[in-house]
Amino acid sequence: MKNLIITLCVLFGAGINAQTADVEVDSRLDWFKDAKLGVFIHWGYYGVNGITESWSLYHKKISYEDYMQQGKKFTAANYDPEEWAELFNKIGAQYAIMTTKHHDGVALWDTQLSHLNVVDKTPAKRDLVTPYVNALRNKGLKVGLYYSLCDWSHPDYEVVFPRPNTKKDYPQKGQKQMDTWERFVLFYQGQLKELSSQFNPDLYWFDGDWEKSAEQWRSKALKDSLLSWNPNLIVNSRLNQYGDYRTPEQGIPVVRPDGPWEFCMTMNDNWGYYPSDKNYKPISQIIRTFVEVISNGGNLLLNIGPKPDGTIAKEQLERLESLGTWINKHSDAVFDTTAGLPYGHFYGPSLISKDKKKIYLCLFNNPKNYISLKGLQNKVTSIKVLGTDEELSFERNGGASWKNIPGVLRISIPKDKNLDKYVTVLEVSLENDLELYRGQGHVFRMEKEAMSDFGNLTQLDNGFKGTPNSFTKLSN
Ligand code: GLC
């Protein structure tokens, strides 16, 4: 009996703990799940020569010395984070994430743990993270800090390219006797302590975790410390096994990912400022991608790579602004909505309002004949073309009412002038909370026993005859 009580206590205890943990995770992620759009900012030395961020070192496209020489021209002379924040806010972004330190090891804040920072090494001569954080907060935007766990400059971190001795850049007083990896862990966790205590970010976007195991990074202990400093913090999936949300990159998911997620994408083919890369995605692709991502319950983290002086290239500005114009016109569909209809009801992305009384249908192509919506059990009260005052007529027929299978809702097509240049959105208002028919259509019972009850070939009430494995249309 005593054992039973102990077992029950342990089980209940564990259950309660697990539940509390889930609730905590959920409430930490609340704002993130509703954010829809974030701006990723890759700002670093690499913009000076217009080369690939950090990876040009890894791939030996440039010597370490020449790479670091770029710092001499990293001026931040026209850096105006207030203007950035104003822009991000205007286009509907809810958060931004800036590279505080990429794999190259260059810190954008005044770290005390290495001289490889923009205060000591560049004409900018100042901490660039503080004004960014303040500007975002002034506009009510959430603050994200990108931090590369791998550090290809640190003398205790092994790299695959030739590198001079960098020890002079890393004060390591009293650490001479330490094991090199222990010393590196102390360093990187120390930098994170600096970032947390100075900026208290809402989100850490880690990167480069693939170079070591979770044990080597001490991921669990780090996550515990980060949360003890800010219990509301959220962390992307690249803290080896201890992240809070998934971060697919560049390749858009085809199947709806499980749980909270964010898709990060460049506008051209590079993360940093790379003026010779003109392979920009057209605005239409950026808007479609945004719609596809949010209709699958994710956020788009759209990247910009500011110039070394801190200005944003016109191609990037134009894309941010165009996306913002589209979002502002369709804000009812973008915000206060969740992932759309499951597969099969509508040919295209869709969103559902949080109160479940509206469905937003997104049209990538100009429609023909009529627009159809299948499997909708609700009475529809109106259908509007979002961002215009056009109401669309609709009717429904077909269906199998005796089996509760709704007919197809046929929606008339909007006037040409009301079709959006990029993606048209229809707002379908429902009388009650959304209810969907998700069946396979009514088929006479297919269980083996049922078939043997009625023989092998039976006429079904939907005009099909069936066997357990095949169906053939009856001739009319
Ligand atoms: C990859 C790259 C890195 C880039 C990041 C952004 O991890 O290694 O350079 O910053 O993607 O998602």
**What are the tens digits of pLDDT across the range 382-427?**
999 999 999 999 999 999 999 999 999 999 999 999 999 999 999 9
Do 17 and 85 have their domain in common? yes
**What is the amino acid identity at position 385?**
V
Domain assignment present for 192? yes
How far apart are alpha carbons 256 and 264 in whole angstroms?
A: 15
Do 280 and 349 have their domain in common? no
Do 152 and 267 have their domain in common? yes
| Secondary structure (3-state) at 395 | strand
| Secondary structure (3-state) at 445 | coil
Pocket test for ligand 1, best of 271, 273, 304 (most atoms within 8 A of CB): 271
Do 366 and 305 have their domain in common? no
Contact status, residue 235 vs residue 16, Cβ threshold 8 Å: no
Pocket test for ligand 1, best of 59, 237, 245, 249 (most atoms within 8 A of CB): 249
Range of the domain at 367: 337-441+451-457
Q: Is the pLDDT of residue 68 over 80?
A: yes
Do 183 and 86 have their domain in common? yes
Instruction: Tell me the CATH number at 426.
Output: 2.60.40.1180
- Burial (CB count within 10 angstroms: exposed 0-12, middle 13-18, buried 19+), residue 291: buried
Instruction: Tell me the CATH number at 175.
Output: 3.20.20.80
Domain assignment present for 470? no
Domain assignment present for 464? no
Quote the number of domains for the chain.
2
Residue pointed to by tokens 């505080």: 100
**What is the amino acid identity at position 388?**
T
Residue 381 — pLDDT band, cuts 50, 70, 90? Answer: very high
Do 344 and 285 have their domain in common? no
Domain assignment present for 468? no
Do 323 and 365 have their domain in common? no
How far apart are alpha carbons 20 and 26 in whole angstroms?
A: 10
Do 207 and 347 have their domain in common? no
Last residue of a domain, one of 295, 329, 363: 329
Do 172 and 299 have their domain in common? yes
**What are the tens digits of pLDDT across the range 186-195?**
999 999 999 9
Domain assignment present for 154? yes
Atom 4 in ligand 1: which residue has the minimum CA distance? 271
The secondary structure of 216-236, three-state, reads: HHCHHHHHHHHHHHCCCCEEE
Do 175 and 202 have their domain in common? yes
Domain assignment present for 129? yes
How far apart are alpha carbons 474 and 459 in whole angstroms?
A: 9
Last residue of a domain, one of 329, 350, 373: 329
Q: Taking the CB of residue 29, how many other CB atoms lie within 10 A of it?
A: 18
Domain assignment present for 323? yes
Lowest mean pLDDT among 298-312, 316-330, 451-465: 451-465
Do 315 and 374 have their domain in common? no
207 lines ligand 1 (CB under 6 A): yes
91 lines ligand 1 (CB under 6 A): no
Q: Can you give the pTM of this predicted structure? A: 0.89
Do 175 and 248 have their domain in common? yes
Terminal alpha carbon distance of the chain:
71
Last residue of a domain, one of 329, 352, 369: 329
Residue pointed to by tokens 């077992």: 7
